[in-house]
Amino acid sequence: MVDVDPVMRSPAMVADLPRWGLSERTHQTRNYTQLCLRMHLTPGLVLALQLSVGWAASVSVQTTSGLVTGSQTNGLSTFKGIRFGQAPTGSLRWEPPVAFTSTASQNATSFGPACVQQFPFAVAAINEQLFNTPPPAESEDCLFLNVWAPTSTTATAVVIWLYGGALTFGTASTPTYDGASLAASQNITVVSINYRTNVFGFPNSPDLPTAGNNLGFLDQGPCQLAFQWVQQNIAKFGGDPKKVTIMGQSAGGRSVASQYASYTPGTLG
């Protein structure tokens, strides 16, 4: 039997302590409180505290891009940085996107880099003031998407989000576009995708064939890459491929109109 008398004192007992100065009494009472907590946090209480903060567990899904492993917490599965297109570099630069297929494993717990950007204003003005975040890491190798999916027993509707940025900048990893809240509150599966921007996505060059001038739109879909990936894989995340909606902000909204105008039946659901 452990004698806790030196530690466990009731408020009345603490009040009866010698009348030290205020700072001394405060310090002494704080010490008693800390000691009491240390000695009386039972394993069950510790477990309850751990569960209450929603520790993330890993979750894996087999896709055409390979076995992707993300995280799951508070009834929501999150997958970040899933590669859906081959790196559009070298011989694939200025070319329509090429699907990435693999049987290997992907760690899907962090966002992929943004496509190469061209900011019309100072970088700090766009990212730090509008989005409250530093400029994103950039790379030509940027064809990644993200999925937020509730752990539902029935297939959920799907929203594909296209970011804005005048088709010259923007990325799906911007914290403002995080899909967790939307997915959880509306019980839907949210997919955000990267697409090429700036000269690499919309070069508008007479030296390129027509197919090489709207590469960012081709990265999106509907008869091309990202939307096809959703049709092929989203059911494995709990989404319904027959209930897919595309939406976006600014240039993302313009992209929706462009995709609607070039819609091919069977690619959206």
Does 164 share its domain with 214? yes
Within-domain flag for 81: yes
- Supply the pLDDT for residue 255: 85
Average the pLDDT over 148-174 and give the result.
91
Does 25 share its domain with 97? no
CA distance 82 to 68: 7
- Supply the pLDDT for residue 78: 98
- Supply the pLDDT for residue 223: 56
The DSSP secondary structure of the chain, one letter per residue, reads ----TTT---HHHHHTS----HHHHHHHHHHHHHHHHHHH--HHHHHHHHHHTT--EEEEEEETTEEEEEEEETTEEEEEEEE-B----GGGTTS---B---SSEEE-BSPPPBPP---SS-HHIIIIIISSSPPPPB-S---EEEEEEE--SSPEEEEEEE--STTTS--TT-GGG--HHHHHHHT-EEEEE----HHHH----TTS-GGGS-HHHHHH-SSSSHHHHHHHHGGGGTEEEEEEEEEESTHHHHHHHHHHHT--TTS--
Does 64 share its domain with 20? no
Does 170 share its domain with 120? yes
Within-domain flag for 48: no
Within-domain flag for 6: no
Each residue's pLDDT tens digit, 195-205: 999 888 888 88
Does 24 share its domain with 142? no
Within-domain flag for 18: yes
Does 35 share its domain with 128? no
CA distance 253 to 248: 4
Domain count for the chain: 2
Average the pLDDT over 112-125 and give the result.
73
Within-domain flag for 225: yes
Within-domain flag for 229: yes
Does 170 share its domain with 81? yes
User: Would you say residue 124 has pLDDT above 70?
Assistant: no
Each residue's pLDDT tens digit, 25-37: 334 434 433 433 3
Does 33 share its domain with 69? no
Each residue's pLDDT tens digit, 216-226: 888 887 556 89
Average the pLDDT over 70-85 and give the result.
97
> What CATH number corresponds to the domain at position 241?
3.40.50.1820
Does 89 share its domain with 152? yes
Within-domain flag for 62: yes
- Predicted structure pTM score: 0.75
Beta bridge partners of 148: 78, 190
Range of the domain at 28: 11-40
Does 203 share its domain with 151? yes
Within-domain flag for 92: yes
